[in-house]
Amino acid sequence: MPAFRERCGSVEIEIHDVDHGPPHCHVTGLPRGGSGTVNLLTLEVKPPGLGLPTAVRRFLRDRQEDMPAAWEGVISSDRGE
């Protein structure tokens, strides 16, 4: 079960319950079939150059303070932790 999952139109934004750092969300279902991750602290998008629709960028910006709270419950999959 994801720690966080919401939709913004056809785009799904999800924080996995087991993942590696830094705190980020996964963005899937983008208009051209793309997917990527967004750093929750900086809103940096990977891969670089991945275009997010304006509504998705706004969604992430509006929830930037709330989404890290969901990350607090994530089980680290980083090696050595």
Burial of 49 (0-12, 13-18, 19+ CB in 10 A): exposed
Question: Is 11 a member of any domain?
Answer: yes
pLDDT in tens, 23-50: 999 999 998 888 999 999 999 999 998 9
Token pair belonging to 45 = 């998008």
Name the residue range of residue 22's domain.
4-72
pLDDT in tens, 9-25: 999 999 999 999 999 99
Q: How many domains does the chain have?
A: 1
Predicted confidence at residue 9, as pLDDT, reads 94
Question: Is 77 a member of any domain?
Answer: no
Question: Is 79 a member of any domain?
Answer: no
CA distances from 78 to 10, 21, 63 (A): 30, 7, 25
Question: Is 55 a member of any domain?
Answer: yes
